[in-house]
Structure 1
């Protein structure tokens, strides 16, 4: 079972897609309950939503094929929380976003099992992602890592109220150049759709770990409300007309980011 898929491109953009996978290795599947095997917290359809953008920009896509319920490649591998004091999920989640258990009683992963998954399933994704970033940086002199995420617009266990359509995360402005952050915000604001920058979602471990503006690697996370392109309840149907409008805005945001990045290098 291959934990990562890379679709190579020749542009400066790398699209990370760490939570689109739904595959579960057999040895993990037998330990999960029915809720866990249904993988409800998947970033459904993110690969489809960004496919046209990837083609138009020549982006390299790095996609995790395994479910985040196996191991979350957007969490600190040491297990340290990215959001201290707030509800969140862990490196190897044992509950859903709604705090519902996903394992059969007594079958939660222990330290040895977590370490095994870290080696087999976490490491390959990051080897691939780091390689894609470095290849783009060498080719163009810089790289923009855009981390693609989505989540239900209402998850009371994680955040109050309704999530804006676009949540831009730059770890408080440290993971990318100020001009890139500003370009993303300006394009989101111009859309007329709701957005926030560095709110509840400031960027996960991927954004925080790889973002290094001093090395010409600019990382930005987009947490997208799933209501903007799909039905948020099973069977999680893709809604093409709604998605087309959202994709057009995402395209403008990414174009603005890439333009800002190119000017930094001019």
Structure 2
């Protein structure tokens, strides 16, 4: 199997852009891909429904209002179970492959140990994706053909935004399973705002996001249990004029997680997110200049 064969009918990812970028924001939906290549499904021991357990289903649609607001939206068509771009480029699990990992691979990260590396081993609550070991070259092909171009596109969007506006803000858009609860209180949050514990963006950005969502009546957590993944950590550099914020939406608000069909609350949630984004992108510029990092 090759990436070229997998994606003959659809591009692995795309950028939806306004006619003119009017705001210093870039939105990213790296896990909402819903195109599962036939050859990939044939390699898997999971049925076509179960393999979707790690998918951020319809998140690209929930945040689609970013484009008419004047910001680009980068979104994946490839599924997270196939390739996870919210990881280091070579977080690979040696148990998955027929050959030994190259010396530059990171095979010992916590994410690899959990089965959720760059080429994941598991979906959902521990379901093994593959029936047998893969050729290492297949993983390297996915990384070289999709992962690296995806990040090159994201980096280019952020660089162009910072050059044009003097700073750039990345909003990384995700969803979380319905049953997620906070360990201390047992609360089931509607949204989780992640800023890598105050290191990936100006504090006013995260604080404003939390305030705006709470004013809408949503239960909002901050950094727990999701503080932001590789993308938030890698691109968030406030002292260099790049701010990164991760937003997790509870799937229970809009999705039947058994049938992967939209619930009746989808349209209202989409409207609420549109209003939330309109308010968020209207924050004053001085929030993003010469901001000290929050204490960890």
The TM-score with structure 1 as length reference comes to 0.86
Inter-CA distance 18–82: structure 2 relative to 1 (3 Å threshold): farther
Equivalent position of 1:117 in the other structure: 142
Match of 2:55 among 38, 42, 50: 42
| 1:61–1:217 distance in 2 versus 1, CA, 3 Å | same
- 2:13 pairs with 1:4: yes
Which of 236, 252, 270 pairs up with 1:247?
Answer: 270
- The 1:208–1:78 alpha-carbon spacing in structure 2 relative to 1, beyond 3 Å, is same
Aligned residues: 260
Take 1:146 and 1:83, find their aligned partners in 2: how far apart are those partners?
24
2:282 corresponds in structure 1 to: 259
Report if aligned partners of 2:170, 2:242 keep a CA contact under 8 Å in 1. Answer: yes
Describe how 1:21-32 pairs up with structure 2 within 5 A: 21-32=33-44
TM-score w.r.t. length of structure 2: 0.78
Report which stretch shifted further, 209-218 or 6-15.
Answer: 6-15
Residue by residue over 1:29-63, the C-alpha shift from the partner in whole angstroms, topping out at 9 and shown as x without a partner, is 33112336742321111122122x22331110111
- Residues 150 and 8 of structure 1: is their aligned pair in 2 closer, same or farther, counting only changes over 3 Å? same
Alignment correspondent of 1:182: 207
* Deviation readout 1:4-33 (Å, 9 max, x if unpaired): 201123032111010111223454333112
Match of 1:99 in 2: 126
Q: Which residue of 1 aligns with 2:242?
A: 217
- Unpaired runs of 5+ in structure 1? none
Q: Per-residue deviation at 1:87?
A: 4.6
Residues 265 and 176 of structure 1: CA distance in aligned 2, closer, same or farther (over 3 Å): closer
> Structure 1 residues 139 and 74 mapped into 2: Cα distance closer, same or farther (>3 Å)?
same
CA deviation after TM superposition for structure 1 residue 135, in Å: 1.5
